[in-house]
Amino acid sequence: CDDIAFGETEDYTASIVNLGVNDFIINNSELQIVSADNQHFEIAFKTSYDEGVFLAVYSVLGQQIGFNKALPKIDGAYRLNLDMSNMASGVYLVRVGGQATTTYKTARIIVK
């Protein structure tokens, strides 16, 4: 941002993409995370999307900590038990979405 005589200028970038039908399905899905003991988490992604679903874990600095490109579908939901016992205490972000979509769901977990 630069100051000029009449205010300041700011630069922004906008990404314009086409949304498909599957993007709306992911957007209307439900991501649930249950903490078993502050280091182990049960993740359930309830959706009618039937293609591959990925899961990624990030630090709050944006560093990718882990990635699973194919979650198993069990009892109508994509499920994973996430073991964070080898990670430092702190806040992490979980991102789940379709492999062929541009949308995803995010949630925050706290490792103690």
pLDDT digit of tens for each residue in the chain (112 aa)? 556 666 676 777 877 766 677 888 998 999 999 998 989 999 999 999 988 999 999 999 999 999 998 899 999 899 999 999 999 999 999 999 998 888 999 999 999 9
Residue 64 is predicted with a pLDDT of: 96
Residue 1 is predicted with a pLDDT of: 56
For 35-46, the DSSP string reads ESSSSEEEEEEE
Is the distance from CB of 96 to CB of 89 less than 8 angstroms?
A: no
CATH at residue 74? 2.60.40.10
For residue 16, is it within any domain? no
pTM (2 d.p.): 0.78
For residue 8, is it within any domain? no
Tell the residue number behind the tokens 């579908």, with chain if given.
73
For residue 105, is it within any domain? yes
**What residues have CB less than 8 Å from 57, skipping those under 6 apart?**
64, 65, 66, 67, 82, 84, 92, 93, 94, 95
Nearest residue to 68 via CA among 51, 77, 80, 60: 80
